[in-house]
Homo-oligomer: A and B are copies of this chain.
Amino acid sequence: MKKLLYGAAYYDEYMPYDRVEKDMEMMEKAGMNVIRIAESTWSTWEKEEGKFDFTSLHRMLDAAKRHHISVIVGTPTYAIPSWLCDKADDMLALTHGGPGIYGHRQNMDITNPIYLKYAERMIRKLMEEVKDEPHVIGFQLDNETKAYDTCGPRAQAMFVERLKEKYPDIEAFNHEFGLDYWSNRVDDWAHFPDIRGTINGSLAAEYAAFQRDLVTEFLGWQEAIVKEYAREDQFITQNFDYDWDERTGGLGLQPEVDQFAAAKHVSIAGCDIYHPNAQDLTGAEITTLGNISRGLKKDNYLVLETEAQGNLGWLPYPGQLRLCAYSHVANGANMVEYWHWHSIHNAIESYWKGVLSHDLQENETYRECAIVGNEWKRIGAKLVNLKKKNKVAVVADARSNTGLIQFPMETRDGHGYNRVLRWICDSLHRLNVEFDVIPAREEELGRYQVVILPALYSATESFLNAINDYVSKGGNLIATFKSGFADEHLKIYADVQPHIIHRALGISYDQFTFPKEVGVTYKGKRGEASEWMEMVSTEGAHVLSAYDHSVWKKYAAATVHTYGKGHAMYLASYFSTAVLEEMLCDFLRAIEWNEPEKIQVVANYPVVVKQGINDEGNHIVYLLNYSNQEQYVKLPDYEGIELLTEAKVQPGDDICVKPWDLCVLCYEEA
């Protein structure tokens, strides 16, 4: 990337009247330089079967060109025209909820060959229209792709074929999946029962993994088509989205996609990151979800969607939109693109508001965009391509996510895994410990001083052994409750828990319960245990905190252990964040965690510090104030420049960061 990209999804198709020239002019004036188009409106491009009409497409492309705006073109395959739906009885996915009904997006069966045939033609037609446009800088494959819980006969047959290959001996299959239970044995692949009825969590999880693989295959199929047309200078991306919380938006790892696997089919990772604003803005989603995206290709990423005004209740306070835009970039994003430019006048997302309100005029949000856009025109070249070298890694794992969906903790909303992930990641965010997110692969471990396993419920023995090895050689491990409990098929390990890593951790347990009125106290801070508590006994480890409870006090809530050259902390229960942060701090201090390649800044949340190296080799340090109070931060021991004001900053001075505002420090050397 040569510059930061800043823009919005744009839909000429949705406009109540012809606006495209006016809109592009407004964007340009606001310093915006990119739009994403076309991903939602197959029926606009192919109004009837085989009758293509790209009037609106070219209108957008032409206007964008006139206003120096780059374009990302999305393949419009995630929402099908009504005429296509009529082509097959099984065009829509049969799901656990039964057959689908036309109207919604993202409900077709992505294994349907008729769908694929028409989708391919649509993609090819579109690519032909746009491929030679110089300002088309990249392509987005489909959008927020999933398998949409397809459970139709074809998909189930594919699943059974896969099992057959994996288990030539059906007895071995029955044994690994424990199918004697409740008389569920499968003795003939030909009579495999409808997966939708299963009460076997292992089988359900295997099907979920199969559905995730369908997504990877589907994206690979699209990638191959798009690559036939794409120029060298055009990127291919996908809009990966996250597990969703109705109240707060993006929550954590998407359970329906193996994003680490699927990312091989894109040249740059893309994502959408939605989060609360106003009094609820903390920056935690930008950090955690952004770190997942940065981890997919181990590189900068594109925020393909984030809110401008967003959902009701998300309207940002003045300053917050700009603070968030910088937070994305500070976290390694090379683009911030709003969903969407204009608020829509009909249909289900009319109250998910864009940059412009329904009146399509300049408003407070637009004016704040314009500040960002014009600042980035000025200083964006110093901010783009920010590289990070973090020493802390958090392991995020799709199978463990499924594990806690199949066997939920008391947080019975199916989000248990991500609640634990966020418990850890949000604490790191507030402690100003920047971290990477990595998959559960052995080769990832060596690069980090600290590896954290939040509820790594499902893990292979080889990975668990690698963890032990990592610690014994000097690595530092933090593992939470429910880690290492089951194998890759959610079969619970039948020996000492946590399986294998109990050695690195120096603890074990064989019982657990739901905590009622159980406290966890550490250094005078008392928190409540909730959701889960394991009855941990030490085998060499030091107890950081025993449960504060008349009966359960003999068990440990948190421990540390020295194992070989490394250290390992175990968190046996989900307890209050304040206590967790205290323990994390002490652990990092004890292992002499340090990042000599980074600029040292002492600051506490609500000031969030993010940094990295830019293309010129400078250290860029962001001080982001997530509060409505002024915050003072002592500057690092170097001379540098505050880029927004272009003022020189002196070592050791105090700098004031205004409410919901930020400073961007640039140091030539550290």
Contact = CB atoms under 8 A, between A and B. Distances in A.
Given A182-B105, A347-B182, A347-B199, A193 B13 contact: no
Interface in A378-408: 407
A317 interface: yes
Interface string A481-500: 00000000111111111000
Interface in A159-191: 177-188, 191
A359 B510 contact: yes
Contacts of A192: 82
Contacts of A309: 511
A492 B183 contact: no
A501 B197 CA distance: 50
A197 B108 CA distance: 13
Contacts of A492: 343, 345-346, 350, 358
A83 interface: yes
A47 interface: yes
A101 B196 contact: yes
A346 B516 contact: no
Interface of A is mostly: loop
Contacts of A407: 350-351
Interface in A297-319: 309, 312-315, 317-318
Contact of A313 (B17, B191, B318, B514): B514
B345 A40 contact: no
B198 A364 contact: no
A201 B346 contact: yes
B511 A365 contact: yes
A446 to B, nearest CB: 31
A497 B346 contact: no
Contact of A14 (B178, B186, B318, B345): B178
A615 interface: no
A200 interface: yes
A348 interface: yes
Contacts of A532: 312
Contacts of A188: 48, 83
A593 interface: no
B278 A103 contact: no
Given A359-B494, A491-B345, A511-B315, A279 B517 contact: yes
A103 B184 contact: yes
A172 to B, nearest CB: 13
A181 B14 contact: yes
B82 A511 contact: no
Given A85-B193, A350-B407, A278 B513 contact: yes
* Copies of this polypeptide in the complex: 3
B183 A41 contact: yes
Interface residues of A, number: 99
Given A14-B180, A364-B511, A201 B347 contact: yes
A442 interface: no
A178 B346 contact: yes
Given A16-B494, A47-B185, A358-B497, A197 B104 contact: yes
Contacts of A221: none
Interface string A74-88: 001001111101100
Interface in A320-368: 343-351, 353, 357-361, 363-365
Contacts of A47: 185, 187
A618 B446 CA distance: 72
B101 A194 contact: yes
Interface string A41-57: 11110011000000000
A83 B513 contact: no
A350 B178 CA distance: 11
15 contacts: A43-B179, A43-B185, A44-B185, A79-B182, A81-B185, A82-B191, A83-B188, A179-B346, A200-B346, A278-B516, A312-B512, A312-B532, A345-B491, A350-B492, A357-B510
Interface of A: 11, 13-14, 16-17, 40-44, 47-48, 76, 79-83, 85-86, 100-105, 177-188, 191-194, 196-202, 278-279, 309, 312-315, 317-318, 343-351, 353, 357-361, 363-365, 407, 410, 489-497, 510-514, 516-517, 532, 535, 550-551, 628
Given A82-B191, A181-B349, A359-B496, 18 more contacts: A43-B179, A43-B185, A100-B197, A101-B194, A101-B196, A102-B193, A178-B344, A178-B347, A179-B346, A181-B347, A201-B347, A202-B347, A345-B492, A357-B511, A358-B497, A359-B497, A364-B511, A364-B535
